[in-house]
A = this chain, B = another copy of it.
Amino acid sequence: MSQSTEDCAKVILEVAPLVMRAIRTEMRRHRGPELSVPQFRILTYLNRNEGASLSQAAEHIGLALPTMSKMIEGAVSRGLASRLAHPSDRRRVALSLTAEGRKTLDRARRATEAQMTSWLQRLSDGEKRTVLEAMRILGPVFSAPPGGA
C-alpha cells in the first residue's frame, strides 16, 4: 500500500535531472551577460535577504563557505552584488544586490520562465494543476537542507 513511496522516489530520481538539464541549457543559452543556475540562486537569495552574511548565504543555499566566497567574488566583480563590512562586527560582511544585479536577475528570471512556460503549454489544465500541487508539496520536503535527516 504505502509502497508507493518507493515509486515516488524512483520517479523523482529519474525526472529531476531531466528538468535541471533543460533549465541549465536554457540559462546558458541567453547570449549576453546571463546567469548559471548557482549564480541565479545566489542572486535570488540576496534579493530576498538584503544584508545577509556569507555564512548565512552559504548555509541557506547549501554551499561550503569558500565556495560561496568565490561565487560572491565573481558577482561583485561583475557589478551584480556588493560586499560591505558589517558595521558592528568587522569580521562579518553584509551582502546585497546592486541595481544592476536586480536588473540582471529579473531579466534572467523572466527569460527562463518564459521558455519554461512554452514547454509547459502542451499540458492540460488538469495536468498543470497536478504539477503545481506536486511542486508545492516537494518544496518544503527539500528546502530544509535534508542532509540532517
Q: Quick one: closest B residue to A18, CB to CB?
A: B142
C-alpha spacing A90/B102, complex, angstroms:
53
A5 near B: Cβ within 8 Å?
Answer: yes
* Contact across chains for B20 and A128 when beta carbons are under 8 A apart: no
Question: A125 at the A/B interface (Cβ < 8 Å)?
Answer: yes
Interchain CA distance A148-B130 in the complex, whole Å: 26
CB contact list, A120-144 vs B, under 8 A: 120-123, 125, 127-139, 141-143
Residues of B contacting A133 with CB < 8 Å?
130, 134
1/0 contact string of A26-37 vs chain B (CB within 8 Å): 100100000001
CA distance A129 to B109 in the complex (A): 30
